[in-house]
Structure 1
């Protein structure tokens, strides 16, 4: 373990970048509350109080047999569905195919499920290898060729595509702490600007967001295909008020919008998300991906697509619109409840220097680095008149 005098800084975000997954904000909150923070390689960090230590990798738990088991389950979409089904959590009907993947069999299974269907890689993340809303056999053949023959995926799922809006619901313990609607990358016509110009304008908005600035709308073959199938081109001028979806999948990493709806989620949807997390042995916090027609209604049908135990926190902390949800505080509240009494309002603009230790670890100068404790806040004094 390497301990060095990395100075803390006040209100200097340049020393505290929005790291992958925003995991560092969990470590920062722990440091502000007086916990010991040790940073390791491979995005691991250890938080310690006087009576316990908890290891995280990115935003998920690590270092225990239970954490390893939950990770193995959630990294496999098919295995996750088995646990959800066993706990009466609604999930889409589907099939899993491995190794010698036969297109003929997949086409037959699609007929049994009924179109539309969704084809996706079983163990990949961030929307990679996901082809939703496939409406016919020709589309299925095309996407199968992309997934299996071009991306070389050897473990795929075919599911019934469920209609509804896409939500990421974040659960910590037995509490829903955030709900976010995820909308596919889109533009809104104004009768003046071309589609290409509207995409540039949309990216200008995203660049102002500390998290979404790293996930711009990139014009690729998927967007080009979407334009072509709609009879549009990049030079098309959309009518005023016309919304055009550039993709089918709604991931923020693919340019999707993220809208906070935490205050609107119904008790039914909260209960389903909490039950989904508790269905996975050893899992106590994570993101639940839900499809529903109305997140506000207790009568709306709900389907859980998957669970992400290393869900990105940045989408909730920096949504495209709506209230920021500081999930890193909820995580520390849950695992270190005694620290909820620590008053941090006066030091909420304090950061420890993260860039230097990350550089030290990257260069393999040390395997772990212990961050010095935060200084004690100076007592507030009132100036004499």
Structure 2
């Protein structure tokens, strides 16, 4: 199977954050609704919910200023939603807009031969093989080459069939070894950036791998948000260890890093670290511009892969219109951010502007950012019109 390749920078980052303690939180606020309720009270808004429709409405007095349908902000158009849910179409759209492309290809379950020929014809490249329609890291195979393609393809198709996908389909795209970064953009403003590291352990020269995993899980259990996001000890992990001539009873050397998974998903034991203040401005701008380039889109989560989050290059992997920004409020490590508070403040400000209500001095900076993003969207709109 394809695997993440450990490189020096990844190892350095893991070792750096392994020395930082996990955050601790007041469990009274653990889910989206609790954050929204708290922030609404802080800024004088009223929330009304229709749980049957999964609709959350925000009122400033008697004025409806916005809403969430599930986690999708009301400013998101149906067209933007449909574009972002199709990863292949989204990549092609972004490529046309000038963003770095992973040159993805799509193959159905009956096109195994064509998919293998495509990988075989690029012997100097490694690929990611991912399902077209699954989320949560299911069915993703990394660092796929001619040598491991058959096993990787079968594993991904099996995961799709297990999830009852009627017509299993795989995206084959360039593999970028590096860091998984989520950028939260709220109404045209970068609100938070989170680094997601795959589940791992760092040796101390005394503890077994199993003991190191237990220690990490015991710490995660102390945070309500992570109590159902423990590192799994399962058949997949046992097989992974065996392929590296290791077992759960092995003792890692002091500061030896071992990756327990290739997927950075938090539900698989991945670690979330706030890097808002250290990620490069260029990567923030890529995320902001990607949102701006999509008509009828202002708030979302941009998933990116980058070889170095302090540099200027990153590949957009996915854009989520239903982004769960809660991860930024409750990072495992680093300073918590407040995207949901930013959302309510901006929706309130926009409502005040539309109703010619005088705004306070604290809102001037926010208003200026809204104006800048509006100009950015106009620029991309003109670009689209010119192409048609």
Q: TM-score, normalised by structure 2?
A: 0.77
1:330 aligns with 2:342: yes
SS at match of 1:214: coil
Instruction: Indicate which of 310, 317, 327 corresponds to 1:296.
Output: 310
Q: Distance in 2 between matches of 1:212 and 1:129?
A: 23
Confirm whether residue 164 of structure 1 aligns to residue 178 of structure 2.
Answer: yes
Aligned to 1:79: 89
What is aligned with 2:327?
315
For residues 194 and 272 of structure 1, the distance between their equivalents in structure 2, rounded to whole angstroms, comes to 42
Q: 1:204 to 1:45 in 2, by over 3 A?
A: same
Aligned 8 A contact 1:222 1:247 in 2 = no
C-alpha distance in 2 between matches for 1:144 and 1:229: 19
3-state DSSP class of the match of 1:18?
A: coil
CA apart distance, 1:149: 3.6
Offset, 1:24: 4.3
From the superposition, tell whether residues 209 and 342 of structure 1 become closer, same or farther in structure 2 (CA, over 3 Å). farther
Instruction: Say which of 277, 294, 299 aligns to 2:291.
Output: 277
Q: How do residues 82-231 of structure 1 correspond to structure 2 at under 5 angstroms?
A: 82-98=92-108, 100-114=109-123, 115-134=125-144, 136-152=145-161, 153=165, 154-231=168-245
Q: Specify whether residues 133 and 43 from structure 1 end up closer, same or farther in structure 2 by C-alpha distance, changes over 3 A only.
A: farther
Q: Deviations over 1:31-81 (max 9, x none)?
A: 44222211122543111233334221233225x7x5322222222111211
Give 1:249 shift: 1.1
What is the rounded CA distance, in whole Å, between the counterparts of 2:324 and 2:222 in structure 1?
19
Tell me how far 1:138 sits from its aligned partner: 4.5
Hey, what does 1:253 align to over in structure 2?
267
The worse-fitting range, judged by mean Cα deviation, of 273-282 and 256-265 is 273-282
Would you say the 8 A contact 2:139–2:157 is kept in 1? Answer: no
CA offsets 1:133-177 (integer angstroms, 9 cap, x no match): 22x335321222122245324232111101221111111133211
- In structure 2, what is the Cα distance between the partners aligned to 1:279 and 1:140? 35
- Once the two structures are TM-superposed, the CA of residue 113 in structure 1 deviates from its matched residue by 4.4
SS class of match (1:47): strand
Distance 1:58 1:247, change over 3 A: same
Distance across 2 between alignment mates of 1:293 and 1:143: 23
1:210 and 1:140 map into 2 onto residues whose CA distance is 39
Following the alignment from structure 1 to structure 2, what is the Cα–Cα distance between the partners of residues 245 and 23?
Answer: 34
CA pair 250-264 structure 1, distance change in 2 beyond 3 A: same
User: How far is 1:23 from its partner?
Assistant: 4.7
For 2:30 and 2:69, locate their aligned partners in 1 and report how far apart those are by CA, in whole Å.
16
The one-character-per-residue Cα deviations of 1:61-117 (angstroms, maximum 9, x if unpaired) are 25x7x532222222211121122112112131110124x532111111112444321
Unaligned 5+ residue runs, structure 1? Answer: 1-12, 344-385
Q: Which residue of 1 aligns with 2:71?
A: 59
C-alpha contact (below 8 Å) 1:182/1:258 kept by paired residues: yes
Contact 2:131 2:160 in 1 (8 A): no
The separation in 1 between residues aligned to 2:206 and 2:272, in whole angstroms, is 26
Task: Provide the alpha-carbon RMSD of the alignment.
Answer: 2.4
Give the total of aligned pairs: 322
Distance change >3 Å, CA 280–CA 104, structure 1 → 2: same
> 2:67 & 2:77 partners in 1: Cα distance?
10
